[in-house]
Every structure is written in C-alpha cells, then in structure tokens.
C-alpha cells in the first residue's frame, strides 16, 4: 500500500487501516526485518507464512534469491 499523499487528512480509521492492516498471503512472502536486539542492521527475509519457515535471508542491496 502506498504512503498516503495527505496523511493529516485521513480519519483515525483510515490511518489505522494504513498502519495496521496488511494482506496476509499464504506461501512465500518477502519481508524487511531489523535485527533490533543485536547489530540493528536491516536485512531481507523470504518467509513461508504457512509454516513460518525462513526460506532465504539476503542483504537489502542484493537481489531476491530464486528459491527452488
């Protein structure tokens, strides 16, 4: 979902929808994570939402790997 052009013009309900409601696709899903309890770096993860299994981890500057 794209960032709203005028966030101040949104109602509380619309802002809440933007902040907290996301699609929850079944299967492999690419996400960006932060290692907040350690080095505090950002990294990308491909996670299978059915099993919560991590399928790949890669740096933001890298291309998403093909998972076979």
In a domain, residue 50? The reply is yes
Residue 41: domain span: 27-68
Please identify which residue in the block is written with the tokens 């299978």: 48
Rounded to 5 degrees, φ, ψ at 19 are -75, -40
pLDDT confidence tier of residue 43, bands split at 50, 70 and 90: very high
Please identify which residue in the block is written with the tokens 């005028």: 6
Closest CA to 33 of 51, 15, 54: 54
Number of domains comprising the chain:
1
Q: What is the pTM of this model?
A: 0.67
CA terminus-to-terminus distance, the chain: 28
CATH number of domain containing 58: 3.30.2270.10
1 has a pLDDT exceeding 80: no
pLDDT at 46: 97
- Coil/strand/helix, residue 1: coil
25 has a pLDDT exceeding 90: no
pLDDT at 20: 93
């Amino acid at each position: 979902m794209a960032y709203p052009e005028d966030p101040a013009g949104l109602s509380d309900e619309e802002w809440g929808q933007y902040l907290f409601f996301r699609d929850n696709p079944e299967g492999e899903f690419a996400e960006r994570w932060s290692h907040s309890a350690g080095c505090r770096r950002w990294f990308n993860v491909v996670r299978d939402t059915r099993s919560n299994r991590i399928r790949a981890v890669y740096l933001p500057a890298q291309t998403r790997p093909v998972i076979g």
